[in-house]
Amino acid sequence: MAAPIAVVTGGAGGLGSAICTKLASEGMRVVVGYHHSADAAHKLVAALSGAGHSARPAPVTDTAALTALAATIARDYGGCDVLVNCAGITRFVPHADLDSLDDQLIDAILATNVRGAFAAVRAFRSLLDNSSLPGGGVVVNVSSIAAEIAMGSNVIYCASKAALDNMTKSLARALAPRIRVVSVSPGLVDTEFVKSLDQAWRHEQASRAPLGRLATPQEVAAAVAAVITTLTCSTGSVVKVDGGRTLG
């Protein structure tokens, strides 16, 4: 069997790059999808282990562009086995500050985090449906425990991740048995960006988890890889990587 093809939207970001690195190390050919981060995406491709990787524009709010991307993946690779929806946006807005959460930001978050993930699945469905992976093609939606605890960068970000988890369940039912759909739901991830923030706040956030620490990008990436390679009888599930933060 040829090496599986994994398309990762938002693949050049802090979390996306860890996922791409992990999937490449698992022997997959990785397509690093990007929007504004072309240079970072191409540098990441050059650093990935193995061969057959590429960087491709993948603006998830542009349905026509996603349809064109799927067509080029079919032409260049012959199919697609894995779609990781990692593209997402947010901005810090205090939950009580309703006026600062303006309509433009609301629309941008929902268009990227919810509609974009759905549009990517829609574009790649026929390719995923023909995957020869054990358990079928796989969609991994990168969510957040903000979906459950309603605490996060802003109210609409939390709502967008709740919608994403709900959509995971709906699509898992709709696309079975040929395609599995699973959410991987991290708590606060200790990316380079988070490490650059106020250290007292970061430590306070870590202390809220029973394990007493934040998840690393590599741990989230390992969960994504496990969904694809090991949890082949799982679909419609939400896999948490949060140090027990949702236990209360």
Cβ atoms 81, 6 nearer than 8 A? yes
Give 195-224 pLDDT, tens digit per residue: 888 899 899 999 999 999 999 999 999 999
Q: Would residue 206 count as lying in a domain?
A: no
Q: Would residue 211 count as lying in a domain?
A: no
pLDDT of residue 25: 98
| Number of separate domains in the chain | 1
Q: Would residue 41 count as lying in a domain?
A: yes
Q: Would residue 26 count as lying in a domain?
A: yes
Q: Would residue 131 count as lying in a domain?
A: yes
Q: Where are the alpha helices (DSSP H) in the chain?
A: 14-25, 38-47, 63-77, 103-110, 116-129, 146-149, 155-175, 192-195, 199-207, 217-229
Give the strand order in the sheet containing 137-142: 54-57, 29-34, 5-9, 82-85, 137-142, 179-186, 238-241
77 belongs to the catalytic site? no
Q: Domain range holding 85? A: 5-189+219-234
Cβ atoms 89, 113 nearer than 8 A? yes
pLDDT of residue 46: 98
Low-confidence ranges of the chain (pLDDT < 50): none
pLDDT of residue 32: 98
pLDDT of residue 196: 85
Choosing from 157, 188, 191, 220, the catalytic residue is 157
Q: Would residue 240 count as lying in a domain?
A: no
**CATH number, residue 114:** 3.40.50.720
Number of other residues whose CB lies within 10 A of the CB of residue 78: 11
Give 69-81 pLDDT, tens digit per residue: 999 999 999 999 9
Q: Would residue 86 count as lying in a domain?
A: yes
Q: Would residue 25 count as lying in a domain?
A: yes
3-state secondary structure of 134: coil
- Cross-strand partners of 138: 82, 180
Backbone angles phi, psi at 73, to 5 degrees: -65, -40
Residue from 218, 191, 190, 193 nearest 205 by CA? 190
